[in-house]
Amino acid sequence: MARHAILVIDMLNDFVGEKAPLRCPGGETIIPDLQRLFKWARGREGDDVQLVFIEEAHRENDADFRVRPVHAVKGTWGSDFIPELYPEKGEYIVQKRRHSGFAYTDLDLYLREENIDTVVMTGVWTNVCVRSTATDALARAYKVITLSDGCASKTEEMHEYGLNDLSIFSKIMTIDEYIDAWEKGLDPWEGGGDKENKVK
């Protein structure tokens, strides 16, 4: 049986909300959809679907700040999760300092310990941290699903560009399609990727 980790990427105060220095306006629009996804995942019996929270947590004077505004410094309000999508006790949190949730973190170790074979991408930004994490997941031989209405970027155009790139190697689905596949006993990842090189 497939085992999935829904990766919730950077739904943090410094990315979502009017006071966010790296505000991703689309991040606010996906909150209700992610809340619905969380309720479904948390209400399942067994642990074949887990929520894993990815938290950008930079050191002061991080090298990332040479190219981007200062944001999500570890231990600050900005690096904390937004209240609407806060992790519950027992849900795993991975702190990162680079775009990918796999870069210099223990995410891969955790997933392998839990025998997870499929990662499901949600969060912000679609074309940056979501795509980088998905790319690194593929490099480690995980199956990758991207939930189109569970991700967002600074603009809709950036979001669509990100989804187009992700469709080359992941399965693009809506949250409803993903849940429906599980409820019907189907493998949501089936048909993922671009085996016929049709993506333009």
Residue pLDDT, tens place only, 18-27 = 889 899 999 9
* Burial class of 191 by CB neighbour count within 10 A (0 to 12, 13 to 18, 19+): exposed
How much is the average pLDDT of 32-58?
95
Indicate if the alpha-carbon torsion angle 120, 12, 140, 51 is positive or negative.
negative
How much is the average pLDDT of 134-152?
98
Q: How confident is the model at residue 47 (pLDDT cuts 50, 70, 90)?
A: confident
pLDDT at 1 over 80: no
Rounded-to-integer distance, Cα 179 and Cα 8, Å? 16
Rounded-to-integer distance, Cα 25 and Cα 90, Å? 29
Residue from 85, 157, 133 nearest 146 by CA = 133
Structural domains in the chain, sorted by start: 4-184 (3.40.50.850)
Please write the tens of the pLDDT for every residue from 79-94: 999 999 999 999 999 9
Rounded-to-integer distance, Cα 88 and Cα 54, Å? 14
Q: Which two tokens stand for residue 160?
A: 């669509």
Q: Tell whether pTM > 0.85.
A: yes
Q: Which amino acid is it at 94?
A: V
Tokens 């940056």 found at: 128
Please write the tens of the pLDDT for every residue from 85-129: 999 999 999 999 999 999 999 999 999 999 999 999 999 999 999
